[in-house]
Amino acid sequence: MNGIFITIEGPDGAGKTSVIKELGPLLERELRIPLVLTREPGGIPIAEKIRQIILDPKNTEMDERTEALLYAAARRQHLVQKIIPAIESGKLILCDRFVDSSLAYQGAGRKIGMDAVASINQFAIEGVEPNLTLYLDVDSDTGLSRIKQGRSAQDLDRLDTESPVFHQRVRHAYLKIAEENQERIVMIDARESLETVIAYCLAAIKEHFPQVF
């Protein structure tokens, strides 16, 4: 049996990391197939190294197309080394971010254009798409105030420190992507409590893939 590939998306401060931390063990308890938790950029050593380069706040001179290509390169390696083997061995993969992040952040946030970013990503993924995407929606004011809470300036990465208008463009792009891909993307209001957001995520996964519970 082929596995199931699920991605979680959202603007900075949507709470993906906290959701995944609690959703992982809940899924593990209930699933009848193995679970793989992973993230982008990263998930495997080569891609984690690329992540450090992309997110290093000291890399102020990075060109936006270089940034888009590095995300796509990290994605390619992660896909062939971890995601595809997990799909082929019948696992459920829950991946923190995938191509939609590049469309929203590089395509809209950096204004490269979603079509250009989609085309370099098609080269990287060769048609491998998520079966389901959980999009945690949060407005940029709420998202930005969350990421700044309890973190010192040196804990913020190169994208966290972008301007509020950058983050607004990212959020609007996500809403457009969600609107245009309703068969794949479930939108969840991430201003709700963590428990509620986790419950929605779990319910969406169970509804789409009842055969693995």
Nearest residue (CB) to ligand TMP, 92 versus 124: 124
Is there binding between residue 41 and ligand TMP (CB under 6 A)? yes
- Sign of torsion over alpha carbons 101, 10, 138, 180: positive
Is there binding between residue 97 and ligand TMP (CB under 6 A)? yes
Of all residues in the shown chain, the one whose CB is closest to ligand TMP is: 105
| CA dihedral angle for residue 155, residue 159, residue 162, residue 167, rounded to 10 degrees | -120
Is there binding between residue 174 and ligand TMP (CB under 6 A)? no
Distance of CA 199 to the CA centre of its chain: 19
CB of 152 to ligand TMP, least distance (A): 16
d(CA 74, CA 68): 10
Q: Name residues contacting ligand TMP, limited to 48-87 (CB under 6 A).
A: 71
Which part of the chain contacts ligand TMP (CB under 6 A), choosing from 30-38, 93-101, 125-133, 180-188? Answer: 93-101
d(CA 60, CA 40): 21
* Binding positions for ligand TMP, rule: CB under 6 A: 12, 16, 40-41, 71, 96-97, 101-102, 105-106, 159-160
